[in-house]
């Protein structure tokens, strides 16, 4: 028997790691062919990012080692492939996955690689193993290999028939892996379909626009397998979950399984943006069971020029505002995402775009990501790069929410857009600093209520407020200045790419800059308050109201070690702000009220607080107390109110 090994390594997240789903589907498919199982054995899957020497020990007399390549493991794969070739010169090395460019140039760049496979790997690898057995791989589709010193590329295969693909969960592919790692927490992937009708220039998620579906019986059986094997976290591998009516049935199956078995605990899909009613129903189903962090109302950019350049359309702002209100009324968190660096975007359009989301009612949660050049996305095409003056930099891969690998054996890299013909490098840095400022002080909530009050009552735009705040911080001194100066220096460093924050007091993981800033501020709120006081007093807020606002802002912020409290106010700020946030503004009344904050969880450890409130809770707005945890009344006996 010839040994075939598969490698799909990922980073650990606080001790947890994903089951190697991609190679698992390939193995499951290969095992259904007697022609393959009579010739080949599949002894092991390398799935952890361990030392190269340790990984090599697990590979014994290999005939073929097949690697699944993504941005987070490409360099590791190259290094391990080199070690394998040194020890086993006759071993064949195959690379496939999203980070393998369709042009086949990797064969010229990495001498250790013998075969490339493109697109879906299940049938391609099966046909490759059959071809190798018969001594001829020229008829295998979707591969590239060397022949007489030249690269040979075969025609692309048709998309797989998903109804015929067996499940790696149900066929026992992962049974040995689970048995040999009893103390490890595994994360999972659930696919219900493949394909995407959209074609965003920055995305290479799918290889085919035509939608194909896995059978419902298989999906439900896999969900049950996850429940029976106590898999807590499930990521949905669909590009647009909620696009079809059957997705409602899948959500109901997930909830029923959790109720019966206790798992999966969390289901994390990427929602379809144009199916508002269906997605709302799915979010309602999952949210009632605590299985979803919230609904995604993604925009990526609010620049019409950038939208045209990337081939994307957005919801109208009126529709967006209505959706935000609908989710708030239902008690379902919603969050929005933007991408910084898209061609056609300017610093001004990006920063004002963030603030337009706030003006439209998105106060709960906001995430900004850097635009990454993915190998097979349209945006990475040389003609596209030239057309939009894209400047790409190679930076160290960011290990957000994973252990900081200061002595990492094999560093990984990302390829990010640092400038375009509409956004200079200097503007890119400033846009980043502005974005971190808004996310820290508004989305995470440090000054959210001050900004909303000034916008509503004095007409001070969010753009002006946060532009002035950023200038105040950069020109000042103390903790806030030091943090943002550190961020500026890191953003201006082209090569390190360490655009993350680490403080061992917050656990052995890294954080986004805004998350690190929030944690530093919230654990020393009195000191931060003194630094912010001169800035806030620039605005003409009457003295007694100012003091009430300051007290309300502090009370509503979920702080480390909070046990709950009752605070009295001279203004009914709670009803006032809940009206604005719910899309039904009402006048601010001056009357004595008592606000009781009763946190459902009291955190006694800073890392537990950081993990639950910021890491796990950010998208549902956990840094601010929810309506269920904040109660208001006029007298001294608070009752649940607004």
Average pLDDT, the chain: 92
CA distance 459 to 69: 51
372: left (phi over 0), alpha (psi -120 to 50) or beta: beta
Distance between alpha carbon 608 and the CA centroid of its chain, in Å? 20
* Burial class of residue 182 in the structure, from the number of CB atoms within 10 Å of its CB (0-12 exposed, 13-18 middle, 19+ buried): exposed
The answer to whether the CB of 335 falls within 8 A of the CB of 364 is: yes
Per-residue pLDDT, 406 = 54
* Distance separating alpha carbons of residues 529 and 525, to the nearest angstrom: 6
> What is residue 497's predicted lDDT score, i.e. its pLDDT?
63
Tokens of 318: 């009126």
Tokens 């085919």 sit at which residue?
Answer: 208
How many angstroms separate the CA atoms of 250 and 27, rounded? 25
State residue 404's pLDDT score.
Answer: 67
Helix (H) or strand (E) holding 233: strand 233-236
- Class of residue 57 by CB neighbours under 10 A (exposed 0-12, middle 13-18, buried 19+): exposed
Which element (helix H / strand E) includes 636?
none
Q: What is the distance between the alpha carbons of residues 339 and 592, in angstroms, rounded to a whole number?
A: 44
**Nearest Cα residue to 366 out of 431, 302, 306, 444:** 444
Q: Are 575 and 632 in contact (CB under 8 A)?
A: yes
- pLDDT below 70 — which residues of the chain? 13-14, 206-207, 404-407, 494-497, 634-642
Side-chain-facing half-sphere of 483: CA atoms under 13 Å: 25
Give the homologous superfamily in CATH for domain 2-163. Response regulator (3.40.50.2300)
pLDDT digits (tens, 9 = 90+) for 68-77: 999 999 999 9
Largest CA distance in the chain: 88
The 3-state secondary structure of 500-540, one letter per residue:
CECCHHHCCCEECHHHHHHHHHHHCHHHHHHHHHHHHCCCC
Residues in the chain, how many?
642
pLDDT, tens digit (0-9, with 9 covering 90-100), for 198-209: 889 999 876 677
Q: What would the two tokens of residue 626 be?
A: 């929810």
630-633: strand order across its sheet: 565-569, 593-597, 630-633
Residue carrying structure tokens 């007091």: 505
């Amino acid at each position: 028997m010839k040994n075939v090994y598969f490698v799909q390594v990922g980073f650990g997240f606080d001790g947890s790691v994903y089951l190697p789903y991609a190679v698992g589907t390939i193995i499951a498919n290969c095992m259904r062919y007697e022609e393959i199982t009579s010739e080949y054995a599949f002894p092991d899957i390398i799935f952890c990012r361990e030392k190269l020497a340790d990984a090599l020990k697990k590979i014994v007399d290999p005939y073929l080692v097949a690697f699944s390549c993504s941005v987070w493991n490409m360099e590791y794969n190259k290094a391990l492939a080199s070690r394998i070739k040194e020890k086993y010169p006759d071993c064949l090395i195959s690379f496939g996955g999203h980070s393998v460019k369709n042009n086949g140039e990797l064969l010229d760049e990495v001498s250790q690689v013998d075969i490339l496979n493109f697109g879906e790997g299940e049938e391609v690898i099966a046909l490759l193993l059959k071809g190798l057995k018969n001594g001829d791989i020229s008829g295998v589709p979707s591969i590239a290999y060397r022949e007489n010193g030249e690269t040979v590329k075969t025609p692309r295969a048709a998309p797989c028939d998903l109804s015929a693909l067996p499940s790696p969960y149900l066929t026992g592919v992962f049974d040995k892996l689970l048995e040999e790692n009893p103390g490890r927490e595994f994360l999972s992937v659930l696919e219900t379909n493949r394909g995407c009708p959209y074609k965003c220039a920055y995305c290479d998620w799918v290889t085919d626009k035509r939608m194909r579906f896995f059978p419902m019986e298989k999906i439900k059986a896999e969900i049950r397998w996850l429940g029976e094997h106590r898999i807590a976290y499930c990521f949905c591998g669909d590009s647009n979950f909620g696009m079809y009516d059957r997705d409602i049935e899948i959500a109901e199956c997930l909830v029923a399984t959790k109720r019966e078995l206790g798992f999966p605990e969390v289901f994390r899909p990427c929602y379809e943006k144009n199916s508002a009613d269906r997605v709302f129903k799915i979010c309602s189903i999952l949210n009632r069971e605590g299985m979803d962090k919230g609904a995604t109302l993604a925009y990526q950019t609010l620049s019409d020029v950038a939208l045209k350049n990337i081939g994307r359309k957005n919801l109208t702002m009126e529709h967006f505002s209505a959706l935000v209100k609908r989710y708030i009324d239902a008690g379902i968190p919603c969050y929005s995402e933007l991408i910084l660096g898209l061609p056609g975007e300017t610093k001004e359009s990006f920063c004002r775009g963030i603030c337009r989301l706030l003006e439209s009612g998105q106060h709960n949660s906001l995430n900004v990501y850097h635009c990454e050049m993915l190998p097979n996305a349209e945006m990475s095409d040389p003609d596209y790069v030239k057309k939009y003056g894209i400047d790409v930099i190679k930076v160290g891969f960011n290990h957000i929410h994973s252990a900081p690998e200061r002595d990492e054996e094999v560093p990984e890299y990302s390829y990010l857009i640092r400038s375009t013909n509409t956004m200079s490098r200097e503007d890119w840095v400033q846009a980043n600093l502005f974005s971190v400022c808004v996310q820290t002080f508004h989305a995470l909530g440090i000054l959210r209520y001050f900004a909303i009050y000034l916008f509503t009552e004095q007409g001070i735009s969010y753009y002006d407020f946060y532009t002035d705040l950023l200038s105040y911080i950069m020109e000042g001194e103390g903790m806030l200045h030091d943090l943002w100066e550190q961020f500026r220096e890191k953003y201006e460093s082209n090569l390190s790419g360490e655009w993350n924050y680490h403080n061992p007091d917050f656990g052995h993981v890294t954080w986004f800059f805004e998350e690190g800033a929030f944690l530093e501020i919230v654990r020393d709120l009195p000191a931060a308050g003194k630094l912010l006081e001169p800035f806030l007093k620039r605005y003409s807020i009457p003295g007694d109201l100012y003091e009430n606002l300051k007290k309300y802002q502090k009370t509503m912020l979920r702080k480390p070690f909070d046990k709950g409290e009752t605070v009295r106010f001279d203004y009914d700020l709670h009803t006032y702000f809940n009206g604005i946030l719910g899309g039904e503004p009402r006048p601010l009344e001056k009357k004595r009220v008592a606000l009781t904050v009763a946190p459902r969880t009291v955190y006694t450890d800073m890392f537990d607080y950081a993990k639950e409130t910021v890491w796990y809770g950010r998208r549902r707005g956990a840094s601010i107390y929810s309506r269920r945890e904040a109660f208001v009344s006029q007298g001294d006996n608070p009752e649940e109110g607004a």
